[in-house]
Amino acid sequence: MDNRENAPQIPYSIHEGMMARQERTIRRLWILCIIIFIALIATNAGWIYYESQFTDEIVTERIEQDVDTGNGDANVNGHIGDNYGTSETDSNKDNETESS
């Protein structure tokens, strides 16, 4: 026994109306997909433009300070950040002049 024989008959006009409604829905969904795709490209381009406005800059500072030979401590006041480097002292030169 076939289920097609027991299926209810649908009038052709109702079937055509439903198919037209589905075609309109599918067309609207395609338009929505295209709009979403364009928005995705636009937001990515916007972020690339935003990030390209910033540049990485390296700032190098040279700090010199005279230090008393007795104490030998050099402090840098008023400077924010890390200070790396070497210090040079003239203590050997001072000792040579005193012994002469």
**Confidence label for 1 from pLDDT (cuts 50, 70 and 90):** low
pTM for the whole structure: 0.48
Q: For residue 33, what are the domain limits?
A: 10-49
Q: Is residue 75 part of a domain?
A: no
Q: Is residue 45 part of a domain?
A: yes
Q: Between the CA of residue 89 and those of 14, 17, 61, 63, 76, what are the distances in Å?
A: 99, 96, 19, 14, 16
Q: Is residue 14 part of a domain?
A: yes
pLDDT tens-digit series, residues 7-55: 888 899 999 999 999 999 999 999 999 999 999 999 999 999 999 998 8
Instruction: Give me the number of domains the chain comprises.
Output: 1
pLDDT tens-digit series, residues 43-92: 999 999 999 998 888 887 776 666 666 655 655 565 556 655 565 555 55
